[in-house]
Amino acid sequence: MRCCPSSVLQPLRCVRLRPCIRKARSRLPLRIRELFTYISVLVHSLYFNSLTDSDVVFDSVFEPVFLTVDYITRWFGTVFVCLVVFLTSSILAIAYAVLLPLILNTYSPAWIVWHVFYGHWNLIMIAFHYYKAAKTSPGYLPLERNSSPFVSVCKKCIMPKPARTHHCGICNTCILKMDHHCPWLNNCVGHFNHRYFFSFCLFMTLGCVYCSISGRNLFLDAYNALERFKHLDVEKPGVPVTGMGVLLGLVPTGQTSYQTPAPPYTFRDKMTHKSIIYMWVLTSTVGVALGALTFWHAVLISRGETSIERHINKKETKRMANRGRVFRNPYNYGRLNNWKVFLGVEKRSHWVTRVLLPSGHTPYGDGRTWEVFPTKKDFISV
C-alpha cells in the first residue's frame, strides 16, 4: 500500500478535527462563543476588505473603547437629564424665593414689568425646547421597504443609508441628518429635533446671561457681606472673657462673663447671600460654556452643515483641493436661507410665531430625500 504524502494528509486532518472543535466550542457558554466569533470577525475584517485603510484599522482596534464609552454614556444619560432639571430648578427656586421679593421691593414698576415678563418668557422657552428636544424622535430609518435613494449601507444596521444619515453607537441605530448624541438630553440630535436642541441652547444661554448680568450687583453685595462676616466671625459669641479681659479692665475683677454680641447676620441672611453667589457662579459658568457651544452650532447652521458633516466636508475639501478642484456643500443654500430652512420660516410672521414663541412645527422634508429642497438662492420671499 502506497503511503500518502504529508501535504495531502494535512487537509484531511483538518476536516476530521473541525467537527471536534465545533463540538468543543458548542459546549462553551453562549457569551464566550459570541465573543470568540466577534474577535474572529474583527481579526478577519482587518485584512479582508480591499478598501481597508488606517481609519478602519483604528476603528476596529479601538472598538472596545468606543463600546465602553457608548455604554457609560447610555447609562449616565438619565443622570445627566436629572442634573439639568435639578440645577435649573435650583436657580428657579432662588429666583422666586430671593430675587423676586428684592425686585418687587426695590425696583421701579417699569423694571418690575420687564423682569417679570422677560424672566417668564425665557423660562417657558427653555422648558418647552428642552422637553421637545429630549422627547422628540430624532428620525429613524423606516423598517419597511421604501424607494428612498441611499448613498451607502450601514455596517451595523445592515440597512441602506440615505444622504446625511449616520449611525449612533449609543442609540445603536441610524439617525436621519444626525448631528450628534447629546448626553444632556439622553437623546440623539437629528432631523426632527435639531431645531429644538439649538433653541434650547440659545434660550438657556440667554437665561444664564440675563441672570448673570442682572444679578451682578447682588452677587458683589453678597460676596462682600460674606467676606465681612468672615472677619467678624473671628470673635465668636460665647467665648469666655477671662484673663486678658480682666487685665485690660474690660471685665470687673472676680467676674467671669461671656461675650455675647448680637450676631451681625442671621442664618437666613447667610443662606440668602450664599444662594445669590451660587446662582451667579453657576449661571456665569454655564452662560460662557453653553454660549460657546451655541455660537459654534450657529456657525454650522449658517454653513448648512451638521457637526458630523463638518468633519466629512473638511476632509472632502482637502481631498478635492489635492486634485485641484473646489468642494461645494450641496446642502448650503446661502446663509439666510439655511436659517429659514432650519427654523422653518416660510413667511415674515413666522420669525415671531415659530422662533420667538414655542412652536411644534415639523422641519422641511422627511430627512431621507434631500433633492426636493429648493436650490434657488432666494427661494423663500420673506
- Binding segment for Zn ion (CB under 5 A), chosen from 169-177, 297-305, 307-315, 335-343, is 169-177
Task: Provide the 10 A C-beta neighbour count for residue 74.
Answer: 16
Task: Provide the 10 A C-beta neighbour count for residue 151.
Answer: 10
Which residues have a Cβ under 8 Å from the Cβ of 353 and sit 6 or more positions away?
Answer: 359
Q: In the stretch 107-146, what mask flags binding to Zn ion with x, by CB under 5 A?
A: ----------------------------------------
How far is it, in rounded angstroms, from Cα 298 to Cα 280?
Answer: 26
- Binding segment for Zn ion (CB under 5 A), chosen from 21-29, 163-171, 225-233, 279-287, is 163-171
Q: By CB under 5 A, is residue 81 in contact with Zn ion?
A: no
How far is it, in rounded angstroms, from Cα 367 to Cα 351?
Answer: 23
User: Which is closer to Zn ion, CB of 115 or CB of 191?
Assistant: 191
Residues 170-209 that bind Zn ion (CB under 5 A): 170-171, 174, 181, 188
How far is it, in rounded angstroms, from Cα 310 to Cα 345?
Answer: 24
User: Which is closer to Zn ion, CB of 119 or CB of 367?
Assistant: 367
Choice from 22, 135, 156, 335 touching Zn ion (CB under 5 A): 156
Nearest to 180 by CA among 168, 192, 172: 168
User: Which is closer to Zn ion, CB of 169 or CB of 263?
Assistant: 169
- Amino acid found at 7: S
For the record, the C-alpha cell of 279 comes out as 446662582
Q: State in angstroms the smallest separation of the CB of 183 from Zn ion.
A: 9
How far is it, in rounded angstroms, from Cα 234 to Cα 237?
Answer: 9
Q: Is 157 annotated in the active site?
A: no
Task: Please give the helix or strand (H or E) that residue 161 lies within, else none.
Answer: strand 160-161
- Binding segment for Zn ion (CB under 5 A), chosen from 54-62, 68-76, 155-163, 218-226, is 155-163
Number of residues that bind Zn ion (CB under 5 A): 10
Vertex 84, ends 83 and 86: CA angle to 5°?
Answer: 60
Task: Please give the helix or strand (H or E) that residue 272 lies within, else none.
Answer: helix 267-303
Q: By CB under 5 A, is residue 308 in contact with Zn ion?
A: no
Q: By CB under 5 A, is residue 157 in contact with Zn ion?
A: yes
User: Which is closer to Zn ion, CB of 44 or CB of 156?
Assistant: 156
Q: State in angstroms the smallest separation of the CB of 38 from Zn ion.
A: 17
Q: By CB under 5 A, is residue 276 in contact with Zn ion?
A: no
Which residue reads 460657546 in cell numbers?
292
For the record, the C-alpha cell of 86 comes out as 435639578
Vertex 77, ends 73 and 80: CA angle to 5°?
Answer: 115
How far is it, in rounded angstroms, from Cα 95 to Cα 101?
Answer: 9
- Catalytic residue of the set 168, 171, 174, 182: 182
Choice from 73, 74, 112, 167 touching Zn ion (CB under 5 A): 167
Q: State in angstroms the smallest separation of the CB of 76 from Zn ion.
A: 13
- Binding segment for Zn ion (CB under 5 A), chosen from 112-120, 160-168, 276-284, 352-360, is 160-168
- Torsions phi, psi for 108 (to 5 deg): -75, 160
Q: By CB under 5 A, is residue 325 in contact with Zn ion?
A: no
User: Which is closer to Zn ion, CB of 81 or CB of 92?
Assistant: 81
Residue positions annotated with a catalytic role: 182
Binding site residues, Zn ion, CB under 5 A? 154, 156-157, 167-168, 170-171, 174, 181, 188
